[in-house]
Amino acid sequence: MEKKVTVLPGDGIGPEVVASAVKVLQAIGKKFHHTFHIAYATIGGAAIDQHGDPLPQETIELCEESDAVLLGAVGGPKWDHNTAELRPEKGLLRIRKHFDLFSNLRPVQAIPSLIKSSPLKDDLVKEVDLLIVRELTGGLYFGEPRKRTNEEAIDSLVYSRLEIERIVENAFELARVRRGKLTSVDKANVLETSRLWRQIVDEKKAQYPDVEVEHSLVDSTAMKLITNPGAYDVLVTENMFGDILSDEASVITGSLGVLPSASIRSDNFGLYEPVHGSAPEIAGKGIANPAATILSVAMMLRYSFGLKEEATEIEHAVNAAFNDGFFTSDLATSGNQALTTDEWTEKVLNKIDPSFVSDSIITTYI
């Protein structure tokens, strides 16, 4: 297989974690005889500094020519006081909208060797294997009208039937190949958009008799995610609820540093990025945890390229590195020495290819 991947390192620790993930992608290519052509472009604060635009036209064009996009992270204190259009986050919102990446998948799975890092009790965490399916291109983030004066501000929560149908169908399909349980999260006791959402879920469920469906209000879901996270399989929800619940879910298993995400279009083109942000306080030190970005590459292989075996290989390599007691500083406990980003990446590369030597990876540019 031959694929083009655009890499957008972004800000903070973004460049460091994507460098690791690209090495892993190339190692998988070598092992399974695929060619991944890698090209780099700017986004976020880095793009504002270089081009005066958080999503320059040339970045859009490069992504349009590619089969998938890998993104590091955007944002940092340097740009916090910029106007709305010149904030790094705006680059992320625009790329999601431009490429119609409506389906955001955020899996949260217990990793046995990391359970001790969770703030929750071991027993609650060890069964956790859930997937948040967040609608990503509608709702409050993009609704019109939108305005602000000194006296009044408006954000609009708008959803069309088609926008709800496609994300709900996507979630049913995913639930069907997992444990067959779908929780649709809304605020139907208050919001009209949620009532339409609930109605559409009910209409669709006849097509998926093999999937057990429940409706759950977002406030009580937020509570149950912490008191009984093992009860969930697939959760589907609108943009803002998904944003909040996925940050909440990210602490269940212990570390934000290990959570990947995928933002996918209906033809499987996708953008893959770690759930964590740019962590400016540790940027440039070579100590960031690249696991989430490496696992995002696994999601790219699975969802955009249909390479399931290769994806599983990466996931096993990451788990094996943790099981062997190798951790970066965010996860290392007093008994374990913390590895640098590069050292930890080499452990993963060694699991994929035991004969791996650092300079055997050739990066190809297009």
Which residues carry out catalysis?
141, 187, 219, 243, 247
Cα separation values, 284 from 20, 77, 268, Å? 14, 15, 33
Number of residues that bind Mn ion (CB under 5 A): 1
Of the candidate residues 53, 243, 310, 315, the single one contacting ligand IPM (CB under 6 A): 243
Of the candidate residues 41, 68, 71, 92, the single one contacting ligand IPM (CB under 6 A): 92
Left, alpha or beta for 254 (phi > 0: left; psi -120 to 50: alpha)? left
Q: Which residues, 109 to 128, sit near Mn ion by CB under 5 A?
A: none
Q: Which is nearer to ligand IPM, 89 or 212 (CB)?
A: 89
Identify residue 10 by its one-letter amino acid code: G
Environment class of 353 (CB within 10 Å of its CB; exposed 0-12, middle 13-18, buried 19+): middle
CB of 255 to ligand IPM, least distance (A): 16
Number of Cβ within 10 Å of residue 301's Cβ equals 28
Taking the C-alpha atoms of residue 289 and residue 343, their distance in angstroms, rounded to an integer, is 11
The binder of 92, among Mn ion, ligand IPM, none, by C-beta within 5 to 8 A per type, is: ligand IPM
The binder of 89, among Mn ion, ligand IPM, none, by C-beta within 5 to 8 A per type, is: ligand IPM
Q: Which is nearer to ligand IPM, 16 or 243 (CB)?
A: 243
Q: Which is nearer to Mn ion, 243 or 346 (CB)?
A: 243
Q: Which is nearer to Mn ion, 59 or 261 (CB)?
A: 261
Structure tokens at 331: 């996860």
CB of 123 to ligand IPM, least distance (A): 29
CB of 306 to ligand IPM, least distance (A): 25
Q: Which residues of 247-273 are buried (b: 16+ CB within 10 A; e: fewer)?
A: ebbbbbbbbbbbbbbbbbbeeebbbbb
Residue nearest to Mn ion (CB): 243
Residue span binding Mn ion (CB under 5 A) among the ranges 20-28, 111-119, 221-229, 243-251:
243-251
Q: Which is nearer to ligand IPM, 251 or 338 (CB)?
A: 251
Which three-class secondary structure state does DSSP give residue 134? Answer: strand
CB distance 74 to 111 below 8 Å: no
- Supply the DSSP string of 56-109, one letter for each residue: -HHHHHHHHTSSEEEEEE---GGGTTS-GGGSHHHHHHHHHHHTT--EEEEEEE
Of the candidate residues 53, 135, 186, 243, the single one contacting Mn ion (CB under 5 A): 243
CB of 240 to ligand IPM, least distance (A): 8
Number of residues that bind ligand IPM (CB under 6 A): 4
Q: Which is nearer to Mn ion, 243 or 313 (CB)?
A: 243
Q: Which residues of 167-201 are buried (b: 16+ CB within 10 A; e: fewer)?
A: bbbbbbebbeebeebbbbbbbbeeeebbebbbebb
CB of 250 to Mn ion, least distance (A): 9
Structure tokens at 362: 């050739």
**89 near ligand IPM, rule: CB under 6 A:** yes
Taking the C-alpha atoms of residue 101 and residue 26, their distance in angstroms, rounded to an integer, is 25
CB distance 362 to 37 below 8 Å: no
Q: Which residues, 200 to 229, sit near ligand IPM by CB under 6 A?
A: none
Q: Which is nearer to ligand IPM, 89 or 129 (CB)?
A: 89
**11 near ligand IPM, rule: CB under 6 A:** no
**5 near ligand IPM, rule: CB under 6 A:** no
CB of 243 to Mn ion, least distance (A): 4
CB of 92 to ligand IPM, least distance (A): 5
Judged by the rule CB under 5 A, the positions of this chain that interact with Mn ion are 243
Binding site for ligand IPM (CB under 6 A): 89, 92-93, 243
